[in-house]
Chain A
Amino acid sequence: MSSSAVLSGNHAIGERRHSSAPPPRNRLLPPSDPPPAPPKNEARAPRKDSAQGGVAALLRSSKAGPVDSVLAAVVIALVGFGVVMVYSASAIEATVKYHDAQFFLKRQGVYALVALFTMWLVSRFDYRKLKPFTYPILVAVTLMLGLTILGLGHKAGNAYRWIAIGPVHIQPAETAKLGIVLWLAYSLSKKADKIKSFSIGFLPHLIVVGALIMLLLKQPDFGSAVVLLFLTFTLLFVAGARLPYIAAFTALLGMGAAALVAFSDYRYRRYLAFIDMDNHRQDLAYQPFQSVMSFGSGGWTGLGLGKGLQVLYLPEAHTDFISAIIGEELGFLGILGLVTAYLIIVSRGVKIALEAHDDYGSFMAFGIATLFGVQALVNLAVAMAILPTKGLTLPFMSYGGSSLLVNAAGAGILLSISRPRTNEVPQDKPAPVRTSEGAPSASVLIATEAQVDAWGSGSPAASSAPNPKGAAAAEGASA
């Protein structure tokens, strides 16, 4: 398993760095490890010392089982494939606009590398340590969304969706999607059974999400708002919120959305154009029409990679409408392949959710899997004009740093949750839970064998990896 080999190798490097330069880097420590926290079991104390090694220590702390290699492989393949497709879809526009056919390719290549690195980094990070970051992330996301509508946004088309910090353009809507999943998972797992109540379990979530949605609608970014709402209801439903509440609210919001469409001239005309596409081919329904045209042009096997010509007509071919270009160049078979890839990602995500160590991880995994799945479905549906244009990206494929980075981070969290674990991050749920749980699995058995040594040397590193090297490294760290 190459991934685990890489992980351990890097781990060793991290150790070396730690041993050569051991200054106190407590600032990098998550607040989840506050020094005054009472050691709830003996494993805590020595680890705290080693945690002073900063990032390396953080990474080590997540060193549980191996990640879901199938999921990792498919995500890496999709990102790579996305870079290829972005090049194919953007070459002409890049040549015309920037006189450099590789303009978007170069950037997407860099984004892809950064994104994959981010995924790796996040996958090393124990997801349970994300809990204290929940509110800072939520606040940051809200602030960023607020900034975009306060005029600091960078305008593209008719919408203010970006914050420009120098050459870097951040799309807060993308971060909002992941942020809301993190927050909902945290909040729902904390509230546990109280979820069934309206005032505690239902309303607070809706208020927070509602505020974010208002900000998104102000941009306007209707698509992201809908996705956010869908994620919220999904997680509420999963966590056990009462169905009548959800149904009633869905109906209410549906009416609200209809009213929004009906009273906004711009949206209503786009809606009419979508309904009566044939008569609006040249104006409002130009983009969806061109999209279907390029999608359909592919036939069974497509025109061949790089041979699609609809990029000449389809605006934003390399971002939101990249699936239309895939349809054109790779045909129905290519789309089947793409859909299969997303099916694998989502089903692995759901599997991770089902097998997650705790409900927090489960909710988070399911939320992220839903995020990927819904965005992919909506994007494809838009490309086929089954749904009106939404401005949603195709996860891992579309051009754009924010989307790629956020989705990669999400995948990293999924990978992190996917690691088999035997121990707990002993914050909220201490030992009793472990005992309450049933018989350990085979991997756990193997892990415990390895742990004997670890315990023997007094290391609580809780390495369940059957890799003696990892254990040795842990030993070295504690020494």
Chain B
Amino acid sequence: MKNLDPKRARWIRIRMGILCGMMGLGLGVIVSGAHRIQVEDGQDWYDLAERQRQRRLHVTPKRGTIYDRNGASLAESVEVPSISLDAVELLRGIEDRYLPMRIQQYGERIAQALNLPQEEVVDKISRRRRFVWLKRRVSEAEVAAVRALGEKNQRYPLRGLQIEGEGHRFYPNRELGGPLIGFVSPDGEGREGLELALDHELRGKSSEVRGLRDRSGRLIFSEGIEDEAALAGHNVYLTIDKGIQFTAERELEAAMKTYEATGGAVVVVDPSSGEILAMASAPGYNPNDYSVADPDARRNRCVVDRFEPGSTMKVFSIGTALAARSVNPTASIYCEEGNMAIDNVVIHDTHPAKYLSVTQILSLSSNIGTAKIALGLGEQRLYEGMRRFGFGDTTGIPFPGESMGVLRPRGRPWVSVETAAASFGQGISVTTLQLTMAMAAIANGGKLLEPVLIKRVTDGGGTMLSETQPRVRREAVSPTVAKLMSEMLVAVTEGEGTGVEAAIPGFRVAGKTGTAQKIDPATGRYTDTHYVASFAGFVPADKPRLVIAVVLDEPLGGTYGGGSVAAPVFRRIGEMALRYLGVTPRGSVPMKLSEVSDRAKVGDPATSTYQVLTEARAAVAPITAGVVTPSAPMKSGETRVPDLTGQPVREAIRAATAAGLTPTAFGTGRLSRVEPPAGTVLPKGSAVKLFFEPSS
């Protein structure tokens, strides 16, 4: 500033100095601010930023499939796309005055793409949430429409729309085994039944993968999902046989309708392994639509409900007495001609008699005879005997809410009348499963087994993780006593026994009927109108393959006896199951010629005689209806891929499952293609892929 006079130049310099001082002040603010933000609060900001970007990816693995013992799927998860919306992202950068207009516009476009009411979409956008489901389980066409909305080449591409695959639980057999299998909530948690009990197996490792997401929620990169199969839920193979389960449910349903019962339960067990082949509970429900089902129908009555068993308990009272040698199997017991007073209570018999053998006491179901044997045995030994058969204790089945039953409801040893009542199954309560397992112990040479419901567990890749082996809990009675008991129980279904309705032609059936009076909850006394009818037994008696227990709650209409209500259900299930299992009658069952001719009188004599004789031989009758002659030879254990083109998802999966295949569904709509193609012969349980396409 040599051109200025020094005085002015000095002033200018001073003023510059002042301004420099101000800027220096600003510098101080910046440096101290940086120190505060970075050094003092740095860690907090870092943590906050870390939380923001390391939005943990909750990788929900595919839930495992539940199969029956033959590999037919009972419950499986299908990936179905769902659309969610990040409304904040959608509306970012829009000026406030344009907001209402834009929300309407966007709402209209989204609503069109997803076939939703526009008001609903607009409402969801207006709430400006970072996450809201727009529509779950959408079709391929809707997915394509949503994709198109976000395309960059659009004039106004919409941001914030996300398409996610969501696991949807699907029960291909609908009602089959509903109360047993249970259901899964929409967020993938097992809620009832086996879905709840096996949740830890089925759900898999819902691992948290640390991923990095940018501000629009896009995944930039992640640590990587090491092995999706390792994270996937385990597949569970039940011991349930779909075929037997189906029969059990059908017959139980039919009996319930016929006798107007309020509920019913059937358990079918393989006595040699303790494996449960069927577990039916009525009324049932369809777990695909669990939300509309009556909560009462969701209960698995076989395990959860306890009831007074009635006469079926006589088997175990007498078995215990025989094992304790307090009664001689050949003894004759005076049965008071139908009326006996113990303390101040009078016990009645339905078949009044003077002297009855032990076998007759069972076959005629004499309360007095049983009571006398029990009183001879003593309270303590009867109680212990029942405990040995597994009553009053959990069976060890992995099922939620199992009831233990109650032997001593007052928590003290029985008085005489209670001992007598308990011996014929009143005043105590048991579950259907307990009853079945106790009967299976008789069938299995006296050894009480733990019920097995889960045959094996495999991981997502099919590697076996665990296989359940039969487990003997204890020896309830000796093999000799068990054998003796089975012989006695055969008498129940023969001749003038109470359980003749349970007899299966060609087989010797051992079993026991039960008709228990129920306590009226209003009065606290036994009623004459409400009964529990039951039948528990096994077949064939000499080498048992099936133990079946049938319980019907409150059958009405005059018929309430276990022999007339429950025994036929036993017979029908047993008949079918034996045929299904390929059990042929061992040895010939003598059949009188007159009986044959009697029964053959119906219809054409030649045909009906043949039928009766076939039935008598219990040969596997050739099924003629509904069998398609295969064009390629099939061995047993093989199946053919059916032609299901054009079928909707549920039908196709059901049909493929029925054919003994394990279907996996892709896409939605109608079946377009099957892999391997229809007509291929495959071993049962093989996987087939079903590809669906939306119908145009």
**A→B interface (CB under 8 Å):** 92, 96, 157-158, 192-193, 234, 237-240, 265-266, 269, 282-283, 290, 292-300, 309-310, 312-313, 315, 327, 331-332, 335-336, 339, 343, 346-347, 350, 353-354, 356-359, 362, 366, 370, 373-374, 377, 380-381, 384, 386, 429, 433-434, 436-438
User: What residues of A have a CB within 8 angstroms of the CB of B49 in the complex?
Assistant: 293-294, 296-297, 309-310, 313
The reply to whether B23 and A381 contact each other, CB–CB distance below 8 Å, is: no
User: What residues of A have a CB within 8 angstroms of the CB of B33 in the complex?
Assistant: 380-381, 384, 386
Measured CA separation A96–B4 after assembly (Å):
58
Q: Which B residues from 535 to 580 make CB contacts under 8 A with A? A: none
Measured CA separation A434–B2 after assembly (Å):
8
**B→A interface (CB under 8 Å):** 1-4, 8-9, 11-13, 15-16, 18-20, 23, 26-27, 29-31, 33-35, 37-39, 41-46, 48-49, 52-53, 88, 92-93, 95-97, 130, 212-215, 218, 220
What are 14 pairs between A and B in contact, CB < 8 Å? Answer: A237-B15, A238-B16, A282-B88, A296-B37, A296-B44, A299-B42, A300-B38, A312-B214, A332-B42, A339-B30, A353-B16, A359-B3, A359-B12, A386-B29
Interface residue from B11, B18, B53, B213 paired with A240 (Cβ < 8 Å): B11
Nearest Cβ in chain A — how far from B559, in angstroms? 70
Nearest Cβ in chain A — how far from B214, in angstroms? 4
Interface residue from A237, A339, A374, A438 paired with B31 (Cβ < 8 Å): A339
| Pair count A-B, CB < 8 A | 156
Measured CA separation A29–B454 after assembly (Å):
98
Nearest Cβ in chain B — how far from A271, in angstroms? 14
Beyond A296-B37, A309-B53, is A377–B26 a contact (Cβ under 8 Å)?
yes
Interface residue from B13, B92, B220 paired with A92 (Cβ < 8 Å): B220
Beyond A158-B95, A312-B214, is A343–B27 a contact (Cβ under 8 Å)?
yes
Measured CA separation A239–B9 after assembly (Å):
9
Beyond A297-B42, A312-B220, is A237–B37 a contact (Cβ under 8 Å)?
no
Beyond A299-B43, A381-B30, is A350–B20 a contact (Cβ under 8 Å)?
yes
Nearest Cβ in chain A — how far from B128, in angstroms? 8
Beyond A240-B8, A293-B52, A300-B42, is A358–B2 a contact (Cβ under 8 Å)?
yes
Nearest Cβ in chain A — how far from B103, in angstroms? 15
Interface residue from A192, A238, A350, A384 paired with B34 (Cβ < 8 Å): A384
The reply to whether B38 and A234 contact each other, CB–CB distance below 8 Å, is: no
Measured CA separation A295–B41 after assembly (Å):
10
Closest to B19 in A: A234
User: What residues of B have a CB within 8 angstroms of the CB of A292 in the complex?
Assistant: 37, 45
User: What residues of A have a CB within 8 angstroms of the CB of B46 in the complex?
Assistant: 296-297, 299
The reply to whether A313 and B45 contact each other, CB–CB distance below 8 Å, is: no
User: What residues of A have a CB within 8 angstroms of the CB of B215 in the complex?
Assistant: 290, 312-313, 315
Closest to B26 in A: A377
8 closest Cβ contacts across the A-B interface? A296-B45, A299-B42, A312-B214, A437-B2, A332-B38, A297-B46, A358-B3, A296-B37
The reply to whether A313 and B52 contact each other, CB–CB distance below 8 Å, is: yes
Closest to A238 in B: B15
User: What residues of A have a CB within 8 angstroms of the CB of B2 in the complex?
Assistant: 357-358, 433-434, 436-438
Closest to B152 in A: A97
Measured CA separation A239–B215 after assembly (Å):
49
- Majority SS of interface residues in chain A? helix
Closest to B93 in A: A157
The reply to whether B12 and A240 contact each other, CB–CB distance below 8 Å, is: yes
The reply to whether B88 and A384 contact each other, CB–CB distance below 8 Å, is: no
The reply to whether A266 and B96 contact each other, CB–CB distance below 8 Å, is: yes
Measured CA separation A283–B46 after assembly (Å):
21
Closest to A311 in B: B214
Given A192-B4, A290-B215, A310-B53, list of 16 further CB < 8 A pairs?
A: A239-B12, A292-B37, A294-B49, A295-B38, A298-B38, A299-B42, A300-B39, A310-B49, A313-B53, A327-B34, A336-B34, A350-B16, A354-B13, A359-B4, A377-B30, A381-B30
The reply to whether A265 and B214 contact each other, CB–CB distance below 8 Å, is: no
Closest to B24 in A: A343
The reply to whether A370 and B19 contact each other, CB–CB distance below 8 Å, is: yes
The reply to whether B38 and A240 contact each other, CB–CB distance below 8 Å, is: no
